[in-house]
Structure 1
Amino acid sequence: MTLLLVFAGVLLFAVLVSALANRTVLSTAVVFLVAGFLAGEGAFGWLSIKPDTPIVTTLAELALFAVLFSDGMRVGWSDLRAAWRLPGRALGWGLPLTLGLTALVAHFLLGLGWAESLLIGAVLAPTDPVFAAALVGNERVPARLRQLLNVESGVNDGLALPFVVVFLAVAAGTDDLHLGSLGLELLLGIAIGVVVPWLALRLEQSRFFAASTQYLPLNAVAIGLLVLALGKVTHGNLFLAAFAAGMTVASFGPRQREAFEEFGELVAELFKLAALLVFGALLTPALLGDIGWQGWLFVLFAIIVARPVALWVSFLGARLTAREQLAAMWFGPKGFASVVYGLLVLTSGIAAAFTIFEIVAAAIVLSILLHSSTDVVVARGFDDPAEAPAWHGPLRRLGIGKRHADPEHEGHE
């Protein structure tokens, strides 16, 4: 009950300051993270939450399922085909390059094994637009940049998930037989996520059934709950099932997608904020202090070097302006998916679980603080497109942000 009381109080406070947060560097995500830290054993001790506390695993599972389901619903196949060129570069090149660079430095700087290093890379690979809300929601920011960040962050959670699952299994010492079972679990999850929504939508579109306007938003809820239940019963991967189900509804049920969108975003947001509160409660000064200089150096590399370098390589020849490319390179915040993947690692029981969680936690905290406090500043840089930034000239000589006299290209890529 104490957790519910703290969450309700912080939620009310976040609602009351949400308008201010939209105009300033204040972030509601930071509010929940800090509130969790203060309420946890690292400060006032109101919340006694341990990694093996049942609420941690349950909340992480439900939150990730809800978020992946709503993420998938934002990016149906038609959306991907219509705006794939830039997000395709970020996902096809940027994500694996970010993962690889992060793993490489984790192995040599932190002395972790390759499986653990790749696991850290996969956990920190997803991005979250919530911590760059002022940029994504500013209509003066070029539409293709906002679309890039939205589509990339909506898809990369699901793309990073199989890597997290596989590297976690390898780090746990899983043998070939179990890896085969793991592959079956992943495929079964995808199958459930595609077949169940498709059949449900076909039933509703038949002449025998029809959802009323009042119940239409619950259609996607029912589909999501059925996918969750079947995934539990059959031991299919819940998270791939959630993402596949969201994409299937978005692709074959645009009416259901539209009806569910606002409600679904609110449910996912509640789960996100609750997970951030619990995550913050798990943090203590001792935990952050045990990381050491090598750990903090790795965290800085993961945030300031790995993604910017990977995105710079990915966007070579993409004809983005300097401002657009720098904004995309910088805003790769480690957000909610990384929080939940970190919690999954912590509760996995592998030998390096706590070490990995410490590093991941530090990266997430620093990323949230840096990105959520700079999105307003960077967004305001697009208020006057004619004003050339001071760093534009040197960056052009490096091949970043070359401008092209192609008026049609600006709106379509």
Structure 2
Amino acid sequence: MDTLLISFAGLLLLAVLLSSLARRTILSTAALFLVGGFVLGDGVLGVISLRPGDELVGTLAELALFTVLFTDGMRVGWKDLSGAWKLPGRALGWGLPLTLVVTAVGAHYLIGLGWTESLLIGAILAPTDPVFAAALVGNDKVPPRLRQLLNVESGVNDGLALPFVMLFLAVAAGSKDLHLGELGLELGVGVLIGVVVPWLAIRLEQTRWFSASTAYEPLNALAIGLLVLALGKATHGNLFLAAFCAGITVATFGERQRESFEHFGELIAEVFKLAALLVFGALISWPLLGSVGWRGWLFAILALVLARPVAIWISFLGARLTLREQAAAAWFGPKGFASVVYGLIVLGSGIVAAQEVFQLVAVTIVLSILLHSSTDVVVARWFDEERDVPAWYGAARRLRDRVRGESAS
């Protein structure tokens, strides 16, 4: 435990010192913690020694995903979703399930896994991570609709993929452990807690008897999140669905609470993310990477360069996105934090194929972090090309795109 804490603190300090450089180059703090965990783990130096069944691994995965889903939900209140749902709706309503299915087909026919395990892998790898698209989302030269698409999609798809992960995991555990009624009750209780607790807390503060001081305002949403977590554990409701619903509820009914907690909450979520990536990297070893074989590595490559691009191409047929925008949206389907935690949950679940599922998920995430985190700046600069051409050419090209769009409609 001491060595893990020292390792995390040292890497966190290094990440802070390199953060400015990382925003401008191909360096990535996510890759730093992943590679750091791998080097410090049993696979190389043996400084950090962890096992999938260790209580620390399960607890950290649970807390990290709860925190991230809570802050993700807080970024996409109902007003945001209803006001900007056209393109993200296509990506979530069509792109997410299509990515799941294409990935599952690859796992079944290329690796030879059963359909349940293949669908489980598809559900784990379907969500995208906004961290790797940060250079695009924060670049004013990137079309606003593309930035909005990536931001809303990555904020919502973790929560949408969760029920599928839980369902396929329950099916993979065997018929004796499969109780759909109990699973449905668990999900329902999670939703109920996630909606009722934040709504009551916000309504209480809006009465004339209660009011949070400026200094304590950022702790309001934190207290709500902790209460949702505690009640979820006490009632055996689904913690992750409760977290996501709680974030959306705060964003919908408590704009002031959302704004005051936003920066503070993102920092908390980032710390948990990096800690989980460190643990995830420590669980990866050379034998694990080698045991997947060439079929496993081919699956990982196809999951990145085929599954999402095919799903995005189908999802945005007739959407009048430019080829450049569609290519960027298709490429930035990185498998990041949510996939990491779902993989850790499966690894500790005890299902027969847990190790094989984790291995395939692990190599896909490793490739994704290394590839996507090193190309976000490059793709963002792709949209900066308009600054390097004459003004008349840029105006003519924009007029051409507008005429094409009007004719298509």
TM-score by length of 2: 0.95
Aligned to 2:105: 104
- Does 1:172 pair with 2:170? no
Shift of 1:405: 2.3
- 8 A contact 1:319–1:404 mirrored in 2: no
Aligned to 1:65: 66
- 8 A contact 1:123–1:160 mirrored in 2: yes
- 8 A contact 1:33–1:280 mirrored in 2: yes
Rounded to whole Å, the distance in 2 between the matches of 1:403 and 1:96 is 30
Amino acid at match of 2:403: A
- 8 A contact 1:107–1:113 mirrored in 2: yes
Amino acid at match of 1:145: L
Aligned to 2:357: 356
- Does 1:85 pair with 2:86? yes
Aligned to 2:247: 246
- 8 A contact 2:251–2:258 mirrored in 1: yes
Rounded to whole Å, the distance in 2 between the matches of 1:166 and 1:205 is 38
Amino acid at match of 1:323: R
Rounded to whole Å, the distance in 1 between the matches of 2:376 and 2:51 is 33
- Does 1:373 pair with 2:374? yes
Aligned to 1:213: 214
1:363-396 CA-partner distances (Å, limit 9, x unpaired): 00000111111111111010123889xxxxxxxx
Identity of matched residues, %: 72
Amino acid at match of 1:405: V
Rounded to whole Å, the distance in 2 between the matches of 1:277 and 1:286 is 18
Aligned to 1:7: 8
Aligned to 1:51: 52
5+ unaligned residues in a row in structure 2: which ranges?
Answer: 390-399
Rounded to whole Å, the distance in 2 between the matches of 1:56 and 1:143 is 39
Rounded to whole Å, the distance in 2 between the matches of 1:306 and 1:387 is 34
- 8 A contact 1:320–1:403 mirrored in 2: no
- 8 A contact 1:319–1:403 mirrored in 2: no
Aligned to 2:322: 321
Amino acid at match of 2:173: A
Amino acid at match of 1:308: P
Rounded to whole Å, the distance in 2 between the matches of 1:302 and 1:278 is 23
Counterpart mapping for 1:184-223 below 5 A: 184-223=185-224
Aligned to 2:289: 288
1:135-158 CA-partner distances (Å, limit 9, x unpaired): 221111111111100100000000
- 8 A contact 1:66–1:271 mirrored in 2: yes
Shift of 1:407: 8.3
Rounded to whole Å, the distance in 2 between the matches of 1:313 and 1:164 is 23
Rounded to whole Å, the distance in 1 between the matches of 2:103 and 2:69 is 24
Rounded to whole Å, the distance in 2 between the matches of 1:68 and 1:99 is 20
Amino acid at match of 2:250: V
1:222-271 CA-partner distances (Å, limit 9, x unpaired): 00000000000000000000000000000000000000000000000000
Aligned to 1:405: 403
Amino acid at match of 1:204: E
Aligned to 2:227: 226
Shift of 1:403: 3.9
Aligned to 1:396: none
Give the number of equivalent residue pairs: 396
Rounded to whole Å, the distance in 1 between the matches of 2:189 and 2:54 is 29
- Does 1:95 pair with 2:93? no
Moved more, 218-227 or 377-386: 377-386
- Does 1:305 pair with 2:312? no
5+ unaligned residues in a row in structure 1: which ranges?
Answer: 389-401
Shift of 1:176: 8.5
Aligned to 1:26: 27
- 8 A contact 1:138–1:379 mirrored in 2: yes
TM-score by length of 1: 0.94
- 8 A contact 1:127–1:333 mirrored in 2: yes
- 8 A contact 1:103–1:121 mirrored in 2: yes
Shift of 1:178: 1.4
Aligned residue for 1:381, secondary structure, equals helix
Rounded to whole Å, the distance in 2 between the matches of 1:166 and 1:23 is 41
Aligned residue for 2:321, secondary structure, equals coil
Counterpart mapping for 1:337-348 below 5 A: 337-348=338-349
Aligned to 2:273: 272
